[in-house]
Every structure is written in C-alpha cells, then in structure tokens.
Amino acid sequence: MKIIVLVKEVPDTYGDRKLNLETGLADREASETVIDEIGERALELALTYADANEGTEVAVLSLAPEGATATIRKGLAMGAGSATHISDEALRGADLGLTAETLAAAIRRVEFDLVITGNVSTDGSGGMIPAMLAELLDVPLATGLSSVQISDGAVSGSRPVESGVQQVSATLPAVISITEALPGPRFPNFKGIMAAKKKPVEVLTLADLGVTADNPDAARSIMLTVAEKPPHAAGVKIIDEGDAGEKLADFLIENRLA
C-alpha cells in the first residue's frame, strides 16, 4: 500500500502571525514556520498503519516555498519514507485551484492507494483542497473523519456532521481528510532524525509537473484588498441603576443583535 500524506508549512500559531499589507500574502519572516499540526496528525495516522502493516510506503508531499525543506524533513524524521517538495516562484500566492492542480499532478506521477490530508489548515483555513484533489484525481472522497480504519482495499471512518455521525467508506484509491480528533503526532527520536538525513527529498518545479500557473484560460483568484485587523475597541459597560434591562435591550437593538 502506498499512502501519500499532504503536509503544509504554516506560520506557527504559537506567536503573532502577519499578512504583508501590500501583497496580502502571509509574512513568513514574521513568525516561525512549522508543519501544520493537522498534517502531522495525518502523518501519524499513516505511520500507525505502516507500523502495523508491513510493506506500507508512506510519502509526504508538500507545496511550499523554497526554504521549507527543513520543515518537511521533520515529516521524514517522524518516519515517512520519502518526501516530495514542490517549489516554484510562480506558485507564490497560488489560489486553491492552482494548488490542487499542482498537487494532483504530483500525486498522479506515482501509483497511490490513499491520500491523507488535514481537514483545514491553520493559516488559509480553506479546507477545499481534499475535495478538489478527489475531483482532479477522479477518486472517492471522505472528509472530516474523526476516526479512520484502513483495510486492504478500502478506507472507512466516522464523520461527525451537524445532525449526528456518519459512517462512511470508500474503495481505494481514495482521498480522505481527518480532524483533530485523531491522535497527535509522535515525537521524532534520535534514530529517526539521523535516518531522515539519508531519506530522499525530491524537489519539483511546475515545469516538471507540466502545470502552467499563468494560463489565461484558467480562472484564478486575485486579492483586491487587505487590511490589518482593527484593534479591539473597548466594550460598553452597562451599570444597573434599575434600568439595566432596558439599556441591554436598547444596546441589542442598536447593534441589530435583537
């Protein structure tokens, strides 16, 4: 079985994150970068399966700026067998469509059984990549799984929705996305870190994949404005002088909350 895990380099949520106010893109200098935790959980799921089932191949795939190789290597240190890093200047500011197209092109190059992704990233919060990938790869999709069972020819799991929990399953090959309900990532040990230095990291460009970023026939998203989050304004304090109820009601009406 070959499992491909998508990981994403994101600004660490531990500190302040910034957007460049001229380009609207994440300011990667402003904070430390890490593998998004949900991607590490996805990798943990794949590795847990690989530990129990010999002959499982786990590969991580990432589309990230040039300097992200070190971050991706952490996935290898955790235990993935190989890594593919797609890096191209033309992918700067790539929208979801171009990102999915590029990732799909990279996945198509190899025979795969299962693609595991996180349900949503902490920086873009798009959550659309799994669906786009499944569409482009023409395979079944199961999103937002809070538990996963992988068997030889199928994958199944539970999928919490508003009205309850769905039990879903799909035949392989398939794309699944997981939620934070899955176990957290293992801590890379010394052996893993040493071994990671010898594992292959393939770096691909758009030309290698045959994807054109500026194809005028394809619709691409553009960003028109970006602004800093306004500072928190002081709230309104209502002191009860016998008419707090009325004041509260007035406040709600005034702010169209009633």
Residues that bind another protein (CB under 8 A): 12, 14-15, 20-25, 37, 40, 92-93, 184-190, 193, 214, 216-217, 220, 222-228
Count of residues making up the chain: 258
CB of 169 to another protein, least distance (A): 30
Of residues 2 and 186, the one with the C-beta less far from another protein:
186
CB of 184 to another protein, least distance (A): 5
Of residues 21 and 181, the one with the C-beta less far from another protein:
21
- Who's near 179: CB < 8 A, 6+ residues apart? 38, 119, 144, 145, 146, 160
Burial 167-187 (b: 16+ CB within 10 A, else e): ebebebbbbbbbbeebeebbe
CB of 23 to another protein, least distance (A): 5
Compute φ and ψ for 85, nearest 5 degrees.
-120, 115
Token output for 68: 């992200």
Of residues 225 and 255, the one with the C-beta less far from another protein:
225
CB of 141 to another protein, least distance (A): 27
Of residues 119 and 143, the one with the C-beta less far from another protein:
119
Compute how many other C-beta atoms are within 10 angstroms of the C-beta atom of residue 237: 5
